Chain A
Amino acid sequence: MSNEIEIIQASLENLDELSRLFQNYRIFYKKEPDAEGEKAFLKERITNKESVIYLAKSDDKFIGFVQLFPMFSSTRVTRLWLLNDLYVDKEFRKSGAASLLIERSKQLARETNYAGLMLQTAKDNTTAQSVYDRNEFVQDDNFYSYYWFNK
């Protein structure tokens, strides 16, 4: 049985459903659920148009999302979308929803005339890597990432 999956851009109307998916996503990254903080965070991004979020919908159920932030590349003198978050509910992992969300993200890059998409993923997350490989992403071995966190 395969249901049609539809991709829509998230708005404040979908905030509750989006927040639920976002919480599951953060739990995957071993973060304590923070329903209020998560919802406020998403509401702010949508209201201030600081990110673009797409939702995957199967029948009437929201099953995944992708969040993109506008970024810039000085070396290429161009704009890129940072594909920061991608999540699909466990029971829908093999549904093709992730690829559809990525396809919609590529479409966003074309529509906005950005040069492309960039992202980071954990080295041990081979599932995610195979999704990106399948979707024509190139792994970049030329950079080290560094972080500095405020206490």
Chain B
Amino acid sequence: MTEKSEIIELEEELLPEFFKLFHNYRISLGLHSVPIAEEKFLTKRFHDGDFTVILASVMFNSGIIEYREYSGFAILYPFFSTIQLKKIWLLNDLYVEKKYRHQGIGTLLLENCISLSEKTDSCGIVLETLIESFGAKKLVEKRGLVRDNYTYGYYREHKK
């Protein structure tokens, strides 16, 4: 049996696989998961071209049969840096399935995000990671992302 990790950009027929990963991602964050709302949200983003999603997959080959499992994803949203006057990518979500962790898949996804940002004439990538999420912190620092001690994040939700 051989195993090979591959990165694939999300396509229409892979949406059901992506939904499954996204569902697990939200559960791993301790969030209440509502599959119908998630699928509606992701389908809309996909059809409106709002984001770029890359999927990590593992290809198994036993010599007789070959099959693929999906192991993780990264979601990137484009926006613009007014300081650099260029496109910039927000790496909003990065997830690897539990049983595939510590195999370099997160790094592989991150490297593909970086090469996407280079290919698209952008000035780079920005991401936010939960302070408690040490796995993510170590990973991004290892890949040369710089922590920003300079800014505070703020948000405001309007009341319905």
Contacts and interface: CB of A to CB of B under 8 A. Distances in A.
A143 B154 CA distance: 10
Contacts of B38: 77
Given A145-B127, A149-B123, A118 B155 contact: yes
Nearest to A29: B83
Nearest to B110: A148
A148 B114 contact: yes
Interface string A105-119: 010011000011111
A149 B82 contact: no
Nearest to B141: A146
B114 A138 contact: no
Q: Interface extent on B, as a size class?
A: 35 or more
Interface residues of A, number: 57
B45 interface: yes
Contact of A144 (B25, B124, B131): B131
Contacts, number: 157
Given A139-B153, A148-B124, A149-B124, A109 B158 contact: yes
30 contacts: A38-B85, A41-B82, A50-B80, A51-B80, A69-B80, A71-B77, A75-B29, A85-B82, A115-B157, A115-B158, A116-B157, A119-B155, A120-B151, A120-B153, A121-B151, A123-B151, A123-B152, A124-B150, A132-B154, A136-B156, A139-B153, A140-B154, A142-B130, A143-B128, A144-B147, A145-B151, A147-B145, A147-B146, A148-B125, A149-B123
Given A139-B154, A143-B128, 7 more contacts: A106-B156, A109-B158, A118-B153, A123-B150, A139-B152, A143-B131, A144-B137
Interface of B: 22, 25-26, 29, 31, 34, 37-38, 41, 45, 50-51, 75, 77, 79-80, 82-83, 85, 90, 92-93, 114, 117-118, 122-132, 137, 140-141, 143-158
